[in-house]
Chain A
Amino acid sequence: MNLILDYYNYWIVVFLMMTGFYIVISANNLVKKVVGLNIFQTSVFMMYISMGKVAGGTAPIVVDDNTLYSNPLPHVLILTAIVVGVATTAVGLSLIIRIKRAYGTVEENEFEHEDDAI
C-alpha cells in the first residue's frame, strides 16, 4: 500500500509518457507525430514537477518565515524545457507545411514512397 502511495504519481506519468512516445513512433501522419511529441514532452515535465512537490508545501513564493515551500529548481528547469518544446513544435510544423507543399501529402508512407522513386 505504501508502495502505491509513494509512487502512484510516477507510474501514471510513465504511462502518459509512453502513450505520447507510442503516438510519435507509430503515427503515420506528421501532425499527429508532432502532437505525440508534445504529449511525450509534457508528461516528462510532469515527472520533473512531481519530484519537486513537498507534501504540505506551498508554491515557492515567500509568504512568511515558517512556511514549507516546494522545490523551485524543477520548476525553473521545466519552464525552460516548455519553451524549448514550443520552439521545436514551431519548426516541426513549418517543416510539415513545406512538406505538404512539396509532396502534396503529410502521410509518411506516401512521401517515403515518392522519395524512393526519385
Chain B
Amino acid sequence: MNFLDIISSLLLFAGTFFAFSGAVGLFRFPDFFTRVHAASLTDSIAAILMIAGLLLQTSFDLNTAKLIFILVFLLITSPTASHALAKSARHGGLLLFTEKPTKQGGTNQDD
C-alpha cells in the first residue's frame, strides 16, 4: 500500500463520516432549516472529500477529468439546491424552531 493509497483511503473515510453525520442530522435535527443544513453537508464536504479520495486512485487520465467535472458541477448545483429549498420554505411561511408563530401566519410544522 503506497502513500497515495493511504491518503486516498483517509479522504474516503472522512467523506463517509460526513455523509453519515449528514444522514444522522437529517433525522435528528429539530426543524426544516437545520435539516437542510445537515443534508447539504453530504452534497458539499462529503462529496468533495470522496471525489478527492477517488482522484488519487486514478492514473491522471480521462477519468480524472471526469471526476473533476463532476466535482465542479456538484459544487455549483448542491449549494444552489439548498439555498432554493431554504428560501422557498421561508417564503412559504415556515419558521425556525426558535421562533413563535405570529398573527400574520407562519407555522413551525414541516413535513
Are A and B direct contacts in the complex by CB distance below 8 Å? no
Chain A residues proximal to chain B, CB less than 8 Å: none
Chain B residues proximal to chain A, CB less than 8 Å: none
